[in-house]
Structure 1
């Protein structure tokens, strides 16, 4: 009850107003806080609910520290940052002890708090491993409100844990000289790290728990009272760390400061020390992955332009490609992202020219959306902006991983935005949120890992309000990066060759790390800021493993030529498919009017006609050859020549004709390409303008086509007939013989022209096959017979009625 918010009221009148204001503030925060709670999954704190409380606290193999809080309580709100920091500080202890929290203000959690007899907030309880259902935990009365005090309290609880001991928790008691002598006989590890310290020191036990997730190393503590070991190794400083090897040799661990964090960093980076469950590294110099890329040697203390350009390639050509249409908030985010890149990216001239061109195009887009295809065309510089290109493909160097699924693009994103924040500070940016807000928006709208995007959004929502200057923006991004490293340390995505540690490690910046008088680690933010400004400056970015700019431009030019060639080939294919050449003539000698009738029309393929996909170049050549042939004047054919050409197959570009013996019925529109009788031309009722593929200046007078009365056999489509120039001339001359198509699709020639009596029969049968005419005749006779029968029937019946009426 002493820690309950409502008990904060004092009996002294001078402090009543501030206390009442604090209580009012607690209740004002109730609606929003109760909905979200004080902790999220990204804080590395297990959130207890009715569904998981038993699995975490009852019969668990790990001990647990649980905070029971109320989200409306002011003291709980003030304590939450300390509890979050504690979770990050002891994240490596998770197999032995885990941190959890439960919001007792939430209605669904009230029964949990009642069952565990919680009467004040915040309350912290320690639950031993393998606790029973009736266990209420050990209450930390008057628990410390700092990280080191809470950490020491947890260690004390573990040491007094008793049996059964948590399986994942290493021994915390001091080691004896006898155990050291026989250690390697029973433990197949590469290193035994001995931390010599005073009896009241917690450094040894903290480092033991920090390294419990790592293999090939064991950490034990040795008290300064162990005279034999102290004398044997010549220890003079406490604390200090010594490495004991299987061959009996000893060496002192070289660190900048004798403190917990320095020991932990150094021991994690020893050769052969790996996180448990991680595969060992390939011992050869060259590491190959599934993409057959060789391992590129690099300096871990430098930034590589190849990583930055690979990040841009993946973000703009791969990640954005998942959004076929970019609109609204996403479009604004993209515009700001490209604008910041064009402003601060320290790239090569060809890349900067491309980014500036892309930014100019985006800023000129007034529509509320753009397609990714249009964006990709600008990215690939289809507009041929001189000396502008973004190299294609990924070439990771400093961000490469020991396996293809490690590091790479996420590492590149962090590196890119660290560089941008440093460049913004160097350029004297007036808006400290410029780069961070762009990064936040891009990650929210486009970053492929959605859980990562949600975690980053949570950090940005909580911490960006503290950024007030470009240097503070650099420090916030650095702090957020370390929070992410702490959260995903030990995850499956962690590369064993590059463990997730707090960056920069002491070997890169020893002055960035400091220790307080009690040995507690702290960051020297001034030195960190100086390190960031130097490490990510444009002058220290290496151009190793990059393609030469001339090679990049040449590859882009070749790509554009190839794309242009494909476009031309596609257009040629479309043109060839839309052009239908007339079949080889098998009719009577051609006239000048017939020679002018060389029109190419679109024709749908018959169902029975098989098409073959020829090469585009061959099709275009065939088109040109047919045009040249059609341009030449046709030689006059002597009488009877039509019999010689009658069985020639019609020629179509890209068309494979079936064999003549296959009887294929033409169900598509039939266009008559030859002259009909003048009487049919006279019967045309309207005119259709002739289509041509020639330009205006090349067009010559052509015959006008009219709609004839001829119907395509079996379909009934109106055909096109040319109107003769002497339309109003007499019809006395003999009509030209017509070429017709049978149902089988072959052309046949009619016999001699009909006589005067059969001319009208020929006119009536135009467009119909012999079968059609025969059916019409049969139906005519049947209908006549039917009418005659009806006439006789009614006539006889009428006669019978007259006879009946005449009878007396």
Structure 2
């Protein structure tokens, strides 16, 4: 026996290479084709599904013993047995390095040869394959196996002990220990704690607990039979079973638990100081947590729910996960609508948050159409309309869902907490549908939850049993039991936080009354106590408001963000408008100006009095200089009589085609733009008004023929300089037409403003050719060209003349 104990003890150490190999084929099994998922089991059930491609690698020459169920998916007994087999897989989850569970659907045509090769003729059939089974082995069948988890567990232990030389390397010894072995135990084993289970020979508690703890370091478990009188007397054991912690030097202490049973022993031993899961870092203190996370550590009560976690979950859910869908339509839109409706009805949030959720819910309910864009949804979510006292805090602030590292817990913890709170709040509502909250959660996870494998596992659980929920209490229980199933599956995974291990929640410490033991010693939940605990733990009155951002600050940040967005939008629109104007100038350059008559008609339509304009021509005798005055914006009592016919003509032209205006003036057509050069000089350099005697009289000038001229009023040369074209204005000298001082001052101010705008417009556009073209007609330009040509020809003639004269005067030297 000593030889076997020594051999078994050496095998207690886990072999990393073999575990890695086991992990590889487990991952491959999780990625099997959908045909495998068509059977009674899925990847969420922690049962390896066999196929022709992996059956030999799983069953032959394996480092772990394997229990295989051969079933047919159409078999009624197989269907009835499947829940028991799933429960067995969850119960033996911690045994996986030593014992694994597998299944194969013999009803699938691709698996027919596999079932025939293992001599399967009835369903369901259970077979046990020892570790390192040889090729050709068909396994050892379980005859008349029990249909309960406890009986199957004991049957597996019995078969596991039948190993001889091929003992599974990951499995610790299961035989009883002796006082002699314990004396040298700490010399050959590097562990911190040794747990001794004192029991009777027929008890399985010690062996079950040994396998339950084989994935944990710094602890070993040995069973001591009641007949080992030396140890029983030495430790003073009087109850069987009971657990004692044994230390070097013979020191010992009894492990205190509520009930002397496997589950309570397992939970208490896993919480001993220094005991960690293999491959996991040891838990760190709060000081270490402060330095290992991106946010400062926030001390919190582990037995309470925090509103900061719920609001952080809403932020990440609605602004991060839903944002991954640019267009939301179909099933996703239905899922989002149901999700928001449940939140608006049952979320126990602050007033500002509830106002926001109700606003979003109202918008979705009133939406017409089969799709929405996330940008439109985000405008409502960010309260772009600036409704009072309406906001959802931005950013996350985890408290009860903090993790020891940034990648631990947080959002997944927040999602579970939010779902639990919603189901509990729904129980307080009258005439509430038991499936309402569960259906909304199921659809949201299915459509939006980022971890797709997690969503698939959740859907598997929902498809399996969610339809059986018919009461509000059953909805609370379903979510709670599903959460514990997920905890069982993820225990020991890389995503498990060592400071917050995955356990069957609530723990015996948190809710002692929730745990009880059956007559056979198995653990059982007290559902009445568990429901009472859940309703109290997730009630709105128990949610703590610590670490929440003040509502005033939330609203202020929202207003500031909205203002900055508006400024950025206006700046963007301004840039786009400038770009369009530049493009229009390049494609449609302004080359003409409207006529004087068009200006007068436009002023009449705007409610202003018509403008005075005096046009002069050099057809009059005496060769007097011509000047044209155009008062832009100036008011007179009525238009000049000689200008009325031209106004009528201009009105008809303007109705046919209207020209754009530039800074208070209208561009004239080139063929009608006859302006004196002095007026352009005055305009360009903004010369001051010429000081001219007010009494001087000039005859009115006109472009009309002599036969068409009519007698008009006598005009005096005014003191003002025209703001638009820099021309000297001609004003009537009659006393009844003189403007008062106030009107003149107003006209001067308007002209000055028009002149400034005109100059700014020209400088901004930088269109020098267009500016030089203002005030010149084609006649003026033609005259300039002719004069330039004649000057050139004159210079050329002079050059030829003087060159010839120089040749004539050159001295000619005759040769001898």
Alignment TM-score, normalising by the size of structure 1: 0.70
Aligned with 1:258 (options 241, 257, 260): 260
1:221 is aligned to 2:223: yes
Aligned with 1:281 (options 280, 283, 305): 283
Per the alignment, do residues 280 and 500 of structure 1 end up closer, same or farther by CA in structure 2, a change over 3 Å counting?
same
2:425 aligns with 423
* Cα distance in 1 for residues equivalent to 2:513 and 2:211: 25
Q: Please report how far the alpha carbon of residue 382 of structure 1 lies from its aligned counterpart in structure 2 after TM superposition.
A: 1.1
Q: Is contact 2:71–2:124 with CA below 8 Å preserved after alignment? A: yes
Per the alignment, do residues 758 and 518 of structure 1 end up closer, same or farther by CA in structure 2, a change over 3 Å counting?
closer
Cα deviations by residue, 1:266-285 (Å, 9 ceiling, x for unpaired) = 11222322111112233452
Q: Is contact 2:336–2:444 with CA below 8 Å preserved after alignment? A: yes
* Cα distance in 1 for residues equivalent to 2:177 and 2:702: 123
Aligned with 2:659 (options 668, 690, 715): 690
Cα deviations by residue, 1:200-241 (Å, 9 ceiling, x for unpaired) = 111111111111111121111111212222222222111111
Per the alignment, do residues 756 and 517 of structure 1 end up closer, same or farther by CA in structure 2, a change over 3 Å counting?
closer
2:666 aligns with 702
Cα deviations by residue, 1:613-636 (Å, 9 ceiling, x for unpaired) = xxxxxxxxxxxxxxxxxxxxxxxx
Q: Unaligned 5+ residue runs, structure 2?
A: 1-33, 587-592, 600-649, 673-700, 707-766, 789-816
Aligned with 2:568 (options 566, 576, 581): 566
Q: Please report how far the alpha carbon of residue 332 of structure 1 lies from its aligned counterpart in structure 2 after TM superposition.
A: 1.3
Q: Is contact 2:488–2:503 with CA below 8 Å preserved after alignment? A: yes
Structure 2 counterparts to residues 721-732 of structure 1, below 5 A: none
Q: Is contact 1:685–1:707 with CA below 8 Å preserved after alignment? A: no
Q: Is contact 1:687–1:706 with CA below 8 Å preserved after alignment? A: no
Structure 2 counterparts to residues 510-525 of structure 1, below 5 A: 510-525=512-527
Per the alignment, do residues 727 and 439 of structure 1 end up closer, same or farther by CA in structure 2, a change over 3 Å counting?
farther
1:200 aligns with 202
Aligned with 1:477 (options 479, 486, 490): 479
* Cα distance in 2 for residues equivalent to 1:362 and 1:546: 28
2:324 aligns with 322
Q: Is contact 1:34–1:72 with CA below 8 Å preserved after alignment? A: no
Cα deviations by residue, 1:279-299 (Å, 9 ceiling, x for unpaired) = 223345241467621222211
Q: Which moved more, 1:259-268 or 1:568-577?
A: 568-577
* Cα distance in 2 for residues equivalent to 1:499 and 1:218: 20
Q: Is contact 1:688–1:704 with CA below 8 Å preserved after alignment? A: no
1:50 aligns with 52
Aligned with 1:556 (options 551, 555, 558): 558
Structure 2 counterparts to residues 205-604 of structure 1, below 5 A: 205-246=207-248, 248-283=250-285, 285-288=287-290, 292-579=294-581
* Cα distance in 2 for residues equivalent to 1:71 and 1:205: 34
Q: Is contact 2:292–2:404 with CA below 8 Å preserved after alignment? A: no
* Cα distance in 2 for residues equivalent to 1:33 and 1:302: 44
Name the count of aligned residue pairs.
Answer: 605
Per the alignment, do residues 685 and 352 of structure 1 end up closer, same or farther by CA in structure 2, a change over 3 Å counting?
closer
Q: Is contact 1:117–1:136 with CA below 8 Å preserved after alignment? A: yes
Q: Is contact 2:286–2:297 with CA below 8 Å preserved after alignment? A: no
Alignment TM-score, normalising by the size of structure 2: 0.69
Secondary structure in 1 aligned to 2:568?
helix
Cα deviations by residue, 1:496-531 (Å, 9 ceiling, x for unpaired) = 111111111111111111111110111111111111
Q: Is contact 2:308–2:546 with CA below 8 Å preserved after alignment? A: yes
* Cα distance in 2 for residues equivalent to 1:122 and 1:252: 44
Per the alignment, do residues 569 and 228 of structure 1 end up closer, same or farther by CA in structure 2, a change over 3 Å counting?
same
* Cα distance in 1 for residues equivalent to 2:414 and 2:291: 19
Q: Which moved more, 1:34-43 or 1:90-99?
A: 34-43
Name the structure where helix makes up a greater proportion of residues.
Answer: 2
What do you get for the CA RMSD once the two structures are aligned?
3.5
Secondary structure in 2 aligned to 1:287?
helix
Structure 2 counterparts to residues 672-691 of structure 1, below 5 A: 689-691=658-660
* Cα distance in 2 for residues equivalent to 1:300 and 1:372: 36
1:63 is aligned to 2:65: yes
* Cα distance in 2 for residues equivalent to 1:467 and 1:688: 77
Q: Is contact 2:195–2:219 with CA below 8 Å preserved after alignment? A: yes
Q: Is contact 2:671–2:778 with CA below 8 Å preserved after alignment? A: no
Q: Is contact 1:685–1:706 with CA below 8 Å preserved after alignment? A: no
